[in-house]
Amino acid sequence: MTRPVVVITGASDGIGAELARIFAAKGHELALVARRGERLEALADDIAAAGAVRPLPIELDLTAEGAAQRLDERLAEEGVAPQYLVNNAGFGLMGRAMELDAAEQLAIVDLNMRALTALTLRFLSSIVTAKGGVLNVASVAAFMPGPGFAVYYASKAYVRSFSEALSQELKPQGVKVACLCPGPVRTGFQARAGMHYEGLMAAMKPAMLPAAEVARQGYEGLMAGRRVIVPGWVNRALIFGSAATPRALLLPLLAAAQQRR
């Protein structure tokens, strides 16, 4: 017999860590996955100290060959199987595509798209059996092109499309699939992406929500069966406005906005 768990990737920081806290508080047993094992251990200790079952920390680079299989094998060794999968791991790089390192840009594709898809496909059978769900973390970037952030924006558009299609396919089996599309959230993402903090946080403040609030809305939206979750009215207005703006006007506006970052 296997125990059901929630597998959360990118759980060492930011939205992933807050999603872990929320799922644990709701009574779910967790398996936390990230490259930084020491942070996972600390988070597992914090969750246990709050009275929940101590999560299983799994240090793993999801871009490595065979990562999905190794994660599956590790879960089986522990006698657990995914009921919910939270694909939160991801990163981006700011800059012109021709000037950024090609290998690093392909690593965005590997993590944000390939690894997310590999894990989802690997664990769908278990999730369907448990009538659980999948929460894929994308971004408001999923709704528009991103000059100056081209590969990242494109990867999140893939995540949104994949999630919505999967939601329709799995609905008859009682499985929930949701795509969480937050705006800017102050985490380690900005530093990794090459953004500069001077003036950036002030410019983004109207659209920013705390990671804990984004995670709460993500959890509640998934459990309510919503396909796409966009926290914050400013972010929803941004998406609406971008959809209504001709691309010939939108693209230079977005390019100028990225340059200010």
Domain boundaries in the chain?
Answer: 3-260
Choice among 84, 152, 153, 158 that is catalytic: 152
To the nearest 10 degrees (0 to 180), the angle between helices 116-130 and 150-170 is 20
Q: Identify the CA nearest to 138 among candidates 121, 116, 159.
A: 159
Q: Which helix (H) or strand (E) holds 134?
A: strand 133-137
- Convert the pLDDT of each residue in 201-238 to its tens digit: 455 566 679 999 999 999 999 999 999 999 999 999 99
| Per-residue confidence (pLDDT) for residue 205, from 0 to 100 | 61
Do the beta carbons of residue 182 and residue 9 sit within 8 Å?
A: no
CA distance 224 to 28: 16
User: CA 2, 4, 8, 13 torsion: positive or negative?
Assistant: negative
Residue indicated by tokens 């230079």: 252
Asked if 232 and 207 touch (Cβ cutoff 8 Å), the reply is yes
What the block records as the tokens of 19 is 């999603």
Give the homologous superfamily in CATH for domain 3-260.
Answer: NAD(P)-binding Rossmann-like Domain (3.40.50.720)
Confidence of residue 261 (pLDDT cuts 50, 70, 90): low
- CA separation (Å) from 150 to 79, 89, 155, 181? 41, 18, 9, 17
pLDDT at position 190 over 80: no
Give residue-wise pLDDT tens across range 144-180. Answer: 999 999 999 999 999 999 999 999 999 999 999 999 9
Model pTM above 0.85: yes
Q: What pLDDT is recorded for position 256?
A: 85
> Contact, 22 vs 219, CB < 8 A?
yes
Active site residue 84: no
Which pLDDT value is given to residue 232?
A: 92
d(CA 125, CA 21): 26
